[in-house]
Amino acid sequence: MSKRVLVTGAAGFLGSHLCDRFIAEGFKVVGMDNLITGDIKNIEHLFPLKQFEFYNHDVSNYVHVSGKLDYILHFASPASPIDYLKIPIQTLKVGSLGTHNLLGLAKEKKARFLIASTSEVYGDPTVHPQPEEYWGNVNPVGPRSVYDEAKRFQEAITMAYHTFHGLETRIVRIFNTYGPRMRLNDGRVLPAFIGQALRGENLTIFGDGTQTRSFCYVDDLVEGIYRLLMSDYVYPVNIGNPNEITMNDFAQEIIKLTSTDQKIVYCPLPQDDPKQRQPDIRKAKEILDWEPKISRQVGLKLTYNYFIDFTKEELEATKKNKEFLTIL
């Protein structure tokens, strides 16, 4: 009999790719999303399949799913500064109330539960690269705190359900990820740069451009998440690509990729924006036998090929949020 998995945030960037992976692995998939930041287009190709069902529901409210569930993956959350600065209360609620509701469902169904945590739990790190043992440097009342602290609470309550109720739980700390189905206007540097290049605009860097990020292609990330879910390791695991790059160098890569001649302009760095972000993935290598396989050169080309098919109207529609762009 096929295993059955619930994926919350199913219409989002990562959630939709996870749905694809579980379908490919022979699972029955229940997708759930309130579409506040997700896009139904990301999963509409799954609707004809008997193995897939979808519920438009906010998991911050009581969650009920009929029938057995073997696994629950909680990926419902705004995940970019544009989103969580616009909807801070919903961001906190989905990380707290939503996680509590889904942990209760997992307990009822005796399902293994995995939460999507984030490198943001490390805040603006004073340790580099960031190992799972690092407790972080987070401003609990800053503008980013609604996301950072929601994710830190997620980890705490998930571990409490594991230790108190014996629930099978997994915690993945996701670092910067990119690929097809990202939103061009979601405020993250890669779609922001590509959108600006495709529209013929200058590329905007916040700060002096020496700050770093490390980018993981979505297929690599999904593989890591799948391996963690199927493992017996209950503590947080970093999944990301440790290949670090400065924003100045990254902007030059995008200009070369898109064959444009845009200038780079600099703006003030947003409050509490991390200066460095690089995962220590030794645990993922040792426990999951996982490391990223897809180079940034290959991944960027695949992502660019997705965005290049956008119409002029779709590209122009993404400009409305450009004042919020950050280097997340």
Contact 251, 205 (CB under 8 A): yes
Burial of residue 278 (CB within 10 Å: 0-12, 13-18, 19+) is buried
Distance CA 286, CA 270 (A): 36
Straight-line distance from the first to the last Cα atom of the chain, in angstroms, rounded to the nearest whole number: 42
Contact 319, 185 (CB under 8 A): yes
Nearest CA to 32 out of 5, 54, 48 is that of 54
- DSSP conformational letter for 11: T
Q: Measured between alpha carbons, how far is residue 75 from residues 95, 101, 300, 313 in Å?
A: 10, 13, 24, 29
Distance CA 274, CA 328 (A): 8
Give catalytic status of residue 147 as yes or no.
yes
Task: Give the torsion sign (CA, 58, 63, 64, 65).
Answer: positive
Contact 185, 198 (CB under 8 A): no
Element (H, E) at 199: none
Burial of residue 238 (CB within 10 Å: 0-12, 13-18, 19+) is buried
Catalytic entry in 147, 161, 217, 226 = 147
- Which residues have C-beta within 8 Å of that of residue 205, sequence separation ≥ 6? 247, 248, 251, 264, 265, 266, 267, 327
Distance CA 282, CA 132 (A): 10
Catalytic residue set: 147
